[in-house]
Amino acid sequence: MKRILAGLALALGMLVMGITNASAATLCTIDPTVRIGTPIHYSIDVRVLGTHIYASGTSKTTTFGGVIGL
């Protein structure tokens, strides 16, 4: 009975992920935007072992974040 319920829960979760287009990268992302800028425009993008870290900035805003590879 436990195997049937676990299989049903897995199937239902996969169905929900397919309908909502969810993924671990989408659910585990952080992306704050700060209204503090710098005098230079920059964009940094680093990917290491499935982890994606980025930062970008303009004269008005700074955005940074990352995605943890699960």
Tell me, yes or no, whether 61 lies in a domain.
yes
Mean pLDDT of the chain: 75
Tell me, yes or no, whether 52 lies in a domain.
yes
Q: pLDDT tens for residues 54-70? A: 888 888 888 877 777 65
CA angle 43, 47, 53 (to 5 degrees): 55
Look up the domain containing 51 and give its range: 23-70
Tell me, yes or no, whether 47 lies in a domain.
yes
Q: pLDDT at position 17, please?
A: 66
Q: Would you say residue 46 has pLDDT above 80?
A: yes
Coil, helix or strand for 64?
Answer: strand
Q: Would you say residue 47 has pLDDT above 80?
A: yes
pTM, to two decimals: 0.47
Q: pLDDT at position 61, please?
A: 82
Q: Which of 70, 65, 68, 69 is nearest to 30 (CA)?
A: 65
Tell me, yes or no, whether 59 lies in a domain.
yes
Name the domain count of the chain. Answer: 1
